[in-house]
Amino acid sequence: MKQKKQKKKAEKIVFKSEKDVPLMPMSIGSMLYNKTGVWRNIRPEIDLANCIQCGICWKFCPDVAIYIENEFPFVDYDYCKGCGICAEECPSKCIAMVEEKK
C-alpha cells in the first residue's frame, strides 16, 4: 500500500474589514496554514502489512490526523502532533512511534 499525501492549499486568509469576518468564530481557515505537525517529536509509522483495518486509530486520534483510504489508515503528518494514542490503542500493535530526525 502506498500512501498518498493529501494536498492542502496553505494560504493565509486575511479579511480586510470587520464586515467580512464571520459573526461567530467559525471556519476562519487558520488551520490551513497553521500546520501543527511541526510540534511532533515522535512520529507514528503504520505497518500496513499487519493492519487489520479495524479503524481504532482513526477513531481515537484526537486531532483527526488519521484518514482512511482504500480501507487502510494513513497519517496526515501536517497535523499529527505525535501523541502516540494510535500506537497505544492499536490492537495488532502495527503502529510504531519513531523518533523524528531533523
Partner 1 sequence: MKKVIMGNHALSYGAMLSRSQVIAAYPITPQTQVVELLSEMCASKTLDAKFIKVESEHSAMAACIAASLAGARTFTATSSQGLTLMHELLHWASGGRMPVVMGNINRAMAPGWSIWTDQNDSLSQRDTGWLQFYCASNQEVLDTVIQAFKVSERLLIPSMVVLDAFALSHTYEVVDIPDQEKVDAYLPPFNPPVRLTPSDPHAFGGLTGPDHYFELRYKLQIDMEKVPALVEDTGREYEKMFGRHLGQVEDYRCEDAEIILVTSGTAGYTARVGVDQLREEGVKAGNLRMKMFRPFPFVKVREILTKAKKVAVVDRNISYGHHGIFFEEVKSALYGFDHDLPVFGFITGLGGRDITPGMFKEMAHLTLAKDKPEEEITWIGVKR
Q: Is residue 98 a contact point for partner 1 (CB under 8 A)?
A: no
Kindly state the cell numbers that stand for 67.
484518514
Q: Show Cβ contacts of residue 9 under 8 Å, excluding neighbours closer than 6 positions.
A: 32
Q: Is residue 27 a contact point for partner 1 (CB under 8 A)?
A: yes
Kindly state the cell numbers that stand for 31.
488551520
∠ at Cα 21 (8, 23), nearest 5°?
Answer: 115
Nearer to partner 1, 17 or 99 (CB): 17
Stretch binding partner 1 (CB under 8 A), from 2-10, 24-32, 37-45, 47-55: 24-32
Q: Which residues bind partner 1 (CB under 8 A)?
A: 14-15, 18, 21-28, 30-31, 34
